[in-house]
Amino acid sequence: MTRSPLVRPRMLAAVMAGGAVGVAFRELALLPATAIEEPSAVTLATLVINVAGSFLLGVVVVTLGDRHPVWRGFVGTGMLGGFTTYSAFAVQSAVAVSTAPVLAAALALVAVSLGLVAAFAGIWAARGIRRAFGRAV
Name the residue ranges covered by the structural domains of the chain. 9-133
Residue 3 DSSP label: P
- pLDDT of amino acid 134: 76
Q: Would you say 113 and 121 are in contact if contact means Cβ atoms under 8 Å apart?
A: no
User: Which region among 4-18, 63-77, 104-118 has the lowest average model confidence (pLDDT)?
Assistant: 4-18
What sign does the dihedral 93-106-78-8 (CA atoms) show?
positive
Judging by beta carbons within 10 Å of its beta carbon (0-12, 13-18, 19+), is residue 125 exposed, middle or buried?
Answer: middle
Residue 84 assigned to a binding site? yes
Of residues 113 and 97, more confidence is placed in 113
Q: What is the pLDDT of residues 15-63, one digit of tens each?
A: 999 999 999 999 999 999 989 878 789 889 999 999 999 999 999 999 9
Whether 79 and 18 have beta carbons less than 8 Å apart is answered as yes
Predicted local confidence at residue 100, as pLDDT? 86
Residues in the chain: 137
Is residue 115 annotated as involved in ligand binding? no
Q: Whole-prediction pTM value? A: 0.86
